[in-house]
Amino acid sequence: MAAPLGTLVFYSDFDDFGTWKDALQAQLPQLQVLPACAVERPEDVHYAMAWKPPAGFFQQMPNLRLIVNLGAGVDALVGRADLPAGVPITRITDPQMARMMAGYVLFAVLRHARDIPHFEQAQRRGEWAYRHPRSPQETSVAVLGLGQLGATAAHEVQRQGFRTLGWSRSPRQIDGVACFSGAETLDGVLGQADIVVLMLPLTPETHGLFDRARLQRLKPGAAFVNVARGALVDQGALTALLADGHIGSATLDVFAREPLPADDPLWAMPQVLVTPHLASVAIPSSSARQIAANILRVAAGEPPDNRIDPARGY
Ligand code: NAP
Ligand code: GLV
């Protein structure tokens, strides 16, 4: 029988503990998996798997060896005061999660490219409002952020025949995607795109990157899709530019404040689709194997895969 691995503590207000416990223990039966509220001996906890745990959460566990972020974006973890020094932080890097995100992005891109917001509004007025469709090649889509999820989404978008541009920090190559990198190329990319899709991590460099001046660089009437983080964008400026028509329509999954407050003007804008931060999620059945492999690596004194760089912020 394999030696016990110790305890993994689980914290998430969004993910189901039982499903994750079953998925992890199918890989590692010798691992004890407990919800945070059931931990009696914090000194036995070697592994934490968490999504937005409360402040002070990590301080209670003096023998942590690995922190698994229960998602892709680590902005809610990086920079916390309670992170134990030297303990590696990993993220979920799962093709199924990327596929789920690419599906959402494709839905949003097709929705804007096929003028669906226009037809939805016309239907409510009982109006037969014909608009001649454009071919995908006539529509340019810029995917900003070409990471684990962003690159998959850009690939799917180009597969549909859209003229696809990508933007990242360092140079990337994706077949069929015109890739640009570096801050100095961003405005040029924005100025070419009919649909802009935000897929950047929230870091000190990207926080507020889409302020009023930058949003004004979008082509008049362009569509804006944000599946990354609300704090990348000046939401007041975005709302004003949607109201005056400079930005034609938007699909927004993430917001400056979540849940989006009930009195926020975005709710009532007919050209805006609001979804409650669910473009993609960590999937137990497909992610448990990589988490288990990392636990075994750390238990053997080896560095884990999918480690994030706290200094870089992603
Ligand atoms: P990732 O693998 O960390 O990749 C990040 C990408 O952004 C990389 O291409 C990176 O450039 C680029 N980037 C970072 N900082 C930049 C900067 N200052 N200028 C230009 N490019 C920059 O991220 P991912 O897995 O694709 O996920 C992206 C984000 O999606 C996550 O961070 C998270 O916030 C969000 N997300 C949202 C949901 C949802 O349900 N709405 C679900 C999952 C994830 P390099 O290639 O040069 O490193
Ligand atoms: C969700 O927003 C994630 O970053 O995984």
Encode 83-97: b = buried (16+ Cβ within 10 Å), e = exposed: beeebbbbbbebeeb
Q: Are residues 89 and 101 in the same domain?
A: no
Q: Check if 246 is active-site.
A: no
Residue at 175 is within a domain: yes
Encode 131-145: b = buried (16+ Cβ within 10 Å), e = exposed: eeeeebeebbbbbbb
Residue at 311 is within a domain: no
Render pLDDT for 100-143 as a digit per residue (tens, 0 to 9).
Answer: 999 999 999 999 999 999 999 999 999 999 999 999 999 999 99
Q: Check if 277 is active-site.
A: yes
- Pairwise CA distance, residues 292 & 262, whole Å: 40
- Pairwise CA distance, residues 215 & 230, whole Å: 14
- Pairwise CA distance, residues 156 & 227, whole Å: 15
- Model pTM? 0.97
Q: Are residues 287 and 145 in the same domain?
A: no
Q: Are residues 188 and 230 in the same domain?
A: yes
Question: Which domain CATH number covers 90?
Answer: 3.40.50.720
Report whether residue 230 contacts ligand 2, using a CB cutoff of 6 Å: no
- Pairwise CA distance, residues 176 & 85, whole Å: 42
Render pLDDT for 263-291 as a digit per residue (tens, 0 to 9).
Answer: 999 999 999 999 999 999 999 999 999 99
- Pairwise CA distance, residues 278 & 148, whole Å: 17
Range of the domain at 170: 95-274
Query: Which tokens belong to 179?
Result: 């890739």
Residue at 195 is within a domain: yes
Q: Are residues 209 and 76 in the same domain?
A: no
- Pairwise CA distance, residues 252 & 273, whole Å: 6
Report whether residue 157 contacts ligand 2, using a CB cutoff of 6 Å: no
Q: Are residues 41 and 24 in the same domain?
A: yes
Residue at 308 is within a domain: no
Which of 65, 155, 169, 229 is flagged as catalytic?
A: 229
Q: Are residues 250 and 133 in the same domain?
A: yes
Render pLDDT for 97-107 as a digit per residue (tens, 0 to 9).
Answer: 999 999 999 99
Q: Are residues 160 and 288 in the same domain?
A: no
4 pLDDT band, cuts 50/70/90, is confident
Which of 246, 277, 289, 297 is flagged as catalytic?
A: 277
Q: What share of the chain is helix, strand, coil (3-state, %, to 5)?
A: 35, 20, 45
Q: Are residues 70 and 179 in the same domain?
A: no
Q: Are residues 31 and 153 in the same domain?
A: no
Number of domains in the chain: 2
Count of CA atoms in the C-beta half-sphere (13 A) of 209: 23
Residue at 146 is within a domain: yes
Residue at 304 is within a domain: no
Q: Are residues 101 and 90 in the same domain?
A: no
214 pLDDT band, cuts 50/70/90, is very high
- Pairwise CA distance, residues 295 & 292, whole Å: 5
Q: Are residues 269 and 288 in the same domain?
A: no
Render pLDDT for 74-84 as a digit per residue (tens, 0 to 9).
Answer: 999 999 999 99
- Can you tell me the mean pLDDT for 14-19? 97
- Pairwise CA distance, residues 144 & 154, whole Å: 9
Residue at 159 is within a domain: yes
Q: Is the pLDDT of residue 294 over 90?
A: yes
Residue at 181 is within a domain: yes
